[in-house]
Structure 1
């Protein structure tokens, strides 16, 4: 995963939007007030501590989707086979 100059895996505008959403969730669902600086730090913590687990799960899901498509393509090739004399 590439990192921005600040060390975050997100572009500045992405990080700001994610932090706003996280701040709103903390306030609305947990009754916890946090400023943008604290929320961005929490977001960085989440990305550093558990981000790789989500990333790896995404890779696993992508691999499964590709394998399914490859199986479909393989089946399509077998349909094209012509009989030979044995």
Structure 2
């Protein structure tokens, strides 16, 4: 499944790449080159980041599911305990 960015995020990413080149590189990068670089990152590197995020989300959900039994467990047959009176000493 290809990773796509919404148009506004894509525009912001391209601007950020251009700014990075302006600040950190000897040569600026043009809009078309920045788009190509973003496309490369999205196709080549982003799937690894995406897959890691999915794995982290699965791990988090599994931990929560394990805790469901502890958090939501109700002991059965508690009615009579609720009404039991302590035995009196004579």
**Normalised-by-shorter TM-score class:** 0.7 to 0.9
Tell me if 1:15 matches 2:10: yes
For 1:3-82, list aligned pairs within 5 A. 9-78=4-73, 80-82=74-76
Q: Give 1:10 deviation, angstroms.
A: 1.4
| TM-score, length of structure 1 as denominator length | 0.75
Q: Matches of 1:40 and 1:48 in 2, distance apart?
A: 12
- Mapped to 1, the partners of 2:58 and 2:68 lie a distance apart of 15
Gaps of 5+ in 1: 4-8
CA distance in 2, matches of 1:32, 1:67: 47
Q: Distance in 2 between matches of 1:73 and 1:32?
A: 55
Q: Number of matched residues?
A: 78
Q: Which has the higher contact order (CA 8 A, sep 6+)?
A: 2
Query: Is the contact made by 2:2 and 2:43 (CA closer than 8 Å) also made in structure 1?
Result: no
Determine the C-alpha separation between the residues in 2 that align with 1:69 and 1:32: 49
Q: Which runs of 5+ in 2 are unaligned?
A: 78-90
CA shift at 1:64, angstroms? 1.0
> RMSD of the TM alignment (CA)?
2.1
Deviation at 1:31, TM superposition (A): 3.5
